[in-house]
Chains A and B, each alone.
Chain A
Amino acid sequence: MNAANYLYLSALLFTIGAVGVVVRRNAIVVFMCIELMLNAANLSFVTFSRINGDLNGQVIAFFTMVVAACEVVVGLAIIVTIYRSRRSASIDDASLLKR
């Protein structure tokens, strides 16, 4: 089996995540789609690490995981704060700056 297959899978998952960010309206689902995109990028890091026989890619994937964990913590705190003031987790409702 060709290791490039993992890269194809990674590209597919990234695309699906990107569609989810645009199409879904629930802030939490949008967030999960962002996580999916980060995971897809991690998969290609690990695959390239294998293709090049070098552990640097795995270390970068490790850093991505840490940053993603930080992002989740802060993002979910923001969602909870918005939910508290608006009683809604829809990303369409927080549009006061538009008017």
Chain B
Amino acid sequence: MIDLAIQVGQTAKPEATLFWILAPLSVAAALGMLLVKKAVHSAILMAFVMISLAIFYIAQGAPFLGIVQVVVYTGAVMMLFLFILMLVGVDSSDSLVETIKGLRPIAITAAVGFGGLMISLLGRATLGRGAVGVEAANADGNVQGIANLLFSTYVWPFEVVSALLITAALGSMVLAHHHRIQTKPTQRELSIQRFRSGSLANAAGLPAPGVFARHNAVDVPALLPDGTAAAASVNASLKARGDVLNSSSFELGNVDTSVEEEK
């Protein structure tokens, strides 16, 4: 490797220590993002990478960007990601089985090639002078320096970006808006439908769950007059999750009254 990239005046030792601790950790977290199965774990690792990048920004004389990184990325964006993950289903873990044959080796080969190219390019590039350092530009304060640029040179892009933000907010509202194809049936229509349907068994509504005086939670089927469990009284999604308790101990004849009598 010829002259190592852009020769920078040796930065203070604390920064080097910070870098050599945080950089391997952030690369490991980024790799972990690819390898973990659950999307939530990926999100946590992503948040770690973002926080370490914020620390790098602050170490490089960009405290404003560092704070914005924490507020916008780890605060807002990752929160949004986790929110959508909860909405879509936390258990929607990736299958990790490749659907296109041979995709993974090709992707890894291409990545090694690309990364090698970038790194060797950086190693060979030379600026012919040392790094200036951002201290002079930050003389009046980093926020003031950025504000000076933002509201003079970049005032037009700044306005365009505000238009983009509003468009994105409106667009997400339009996209997330749920169109109802049919009108919502009223209570009256539902009642008529129940009576017109084949059997009159559920005409008066489904039985409520719970066993009176013993266990009235929603996860226990109600008991019919003959002492057996009424399957229709428990919510179907509770049943699908396997959270329904067995009500046999509450059935007629099985009720163990000895415990209560001892008390």
Contact = CB atoms under 8 A, between A and B. Distances in A.
Question: Which applies to chain B's interface (DSSP): helix, strand, loop or mixed?
Answer: helix
Question: Which applies to chain A's interface (DSSP): helix, strand, loop or mixed?
Answer: helix
Contacts of A81: 175-176
Contact of B154 (A14, A24, A59): A59
B34 interface: yes
Given A36-B33, A72-B81, A4 B8 contact: yes
Given A51-B132, A70-B168, A83-B88, A29 B94 contact: yes
Interface stretch (B72-80, B194-202, B216-224, B252-260): B72-80
Nearest to B97: A25
Interface residues of A, number: 71
B50 interface: yes
Contacts of A17: 30
B238 interface: no
B145 interface: yes
Interface stretch (B39-47, B182-190, B229-237): B39-47
Interface of B: 4-8, 10-11, 13, 15-16, 19, 23, 26-27, 30-31, 33-34, 39, 42-43, 46, 49-50, 53, 56-57, 60-62, 64-65, 68-69, 72-73, 76-77, 80-81, 84-85, 87-89, 92-96, 98-99, 103-104, 107-108, 110-111, 114-115, 118-119, 122, 127, 131-134, 136-138, 142, 145-146, 149-150, 153-154, 157, 161, 164-165, 167-169, 171-173, 175-176, 178
11 contacts: A2-B4, A4-B4, A7-B5, A9-B56, A22-B103, A23-B98, A35-B46, A58-B62, A68-B77, A70-B168, A73-B172
